[in-house]
Structure 1
């Protein structure tokens, strides 16, 4: 017969005995039915066996999971763009920011050429660039702050449920930026974005 040898409410082993042995009073021996899943580590209380709770992953694993979830979320922000185009973003941002400061006098050679080849008005291209740059700052700051908050919680012994979905208030902020940048008169745009 197979038995569960229980010490302090936990299955210590599942030995087989021909005859029921005698143990110290602090050891409980319960006969197990054939094909019972009970194994060492299971809990025993009030006449019931319960599998042990899944072990919490070690801190390093939780930190890796957090970083991987963050990488997946931030990767979605730029997934639709080839690397060479991403490499031009600092130039586009610099030229769009210069235009925002001085709409009439800013030199924007990269944007001028790209807008012409694309068939867009220079100002339209600059506004679209401003929208994307401002939205990216908001999204990346929110996601990074979320990752760092989870990291702090994990290092403090917590096990937060990782959620990198942008909340409604951030989505509304992104929408407001697009509305402002695309509709505000050029002369007032810098003031609107301050």
Structure 2
């Protein structure tokens, strides 16, 4: 007879006989005393969870990947509002908005295309909105990058695999920049 731990259930164990029959024994129920005698005889529970055999470097790489996913998820309240193609233009939009607000004769082809010929009267408002949202986004991204750098340093400093095996990053929430 062998007994196996059931993760999260300290008052129960899975038993298995050599013929393949198995079941669960619980504290206070039939078979619990046999289980306690088995433990008292110096036997130890086997684990149903396979041992993690990743190297420390592999654990670090996996942890860093989880950190990056958490960072992306933290920014999701902002980025999910826009298609990737638009997000990719944000630096150019900011550059054009700053230039145009400084000199209304400055070239701003992307902003002109966004406004379209019917809405050119709204160009100043659009430029101001772009810059306002850019500030909010930069603050949010800055907070996430700061968190990512700090937690990355922690991961890289770890010398105990157990800490990295159980590692689950939790990035602080960032404000919505809509």
Is the pair's TM-score, using the shorter chain for normalization, greater than 0.5?
A: yes
RMSD between aligned residues: 4.1
Which residue number corresponds to residue 39 of structure 1?
45
SS in 1 for 2:64: helix
Partner of 1:165: 172
Compared with structure 1, are the counterparts of its residues 114 and 67 closer, same or farther at alpha carbon in structure 2 (3 Å cutoff)? Answer: closer
In structure 1, what is the equivalent of residue 145 of structure 2? 144
Looking at structure 1, the residues matched to 2 and 87 of structure 2 have their Cα atoms a distance apart, in angstroms, of 64
Q: Distance in 1 between matches of 2:91 and 2:118?
A: 19
Tell whether the 8 Å contact from 1:3 to 1:32 is kept in structure 2 after alignment: no
Q: How does 1:113-128 map to 2 (within 5 A)?
A: 113-116=113-116, 119=119, 121-128=122-129
Tell me, which stretches of 5 or more residues in structure 1 are unaligned?
5-13, 17-29, 42-53, 179-194
Corresponding residue of 1:90: 91
* Contact 1:3–1:31 (8 Å) recurs in 2: no
1:131 paired residue number: 132
Q: Please state whether the residue corresponding to 2:46 is helix, strand or coil.
A: coil
Aligned length: 134
Bigger RCO of structures 1 and 2 (CA < 8 A, at least 6 apart): 2
1:110 lines up with 2:110 in the alignment: yes
> How far did residue 74 of structure 1 move?
3.2
Distance 2:60 2:114 in 1: 47
Distance 1:115 1:63, change over 3 A: same
* TM-score of the two chains, using structure 2 as the length reference: 0.55
Match of 1:79 in 2: 80
Change (3 A) 1:86 1:118: farther
Structure 2: where are the runs of 5+ without partners? 4-14, 18-32
- Whether the 8 Å contact between 1:116 and 1:122 is mirrored in structure 2 is no
Secondary structure (helix, strand or coil) at the match of 2:124 reads: helix
Shift of 1:76: 4.1
The secondary structure found in structure 2 opposite 1:166 is coil
Change over 3 Å in CA distance of 1:40–1:114 after alignment to 2: closer
Q: Deviations over 1:92-124 (max 9, x none)?
A: 111112134x24443323323422457361110
User: Residues 39, 136 of structure 1: CA spacing in aligned structure 2 closer, same or farther, 3 A cutoff?
Assistant: same
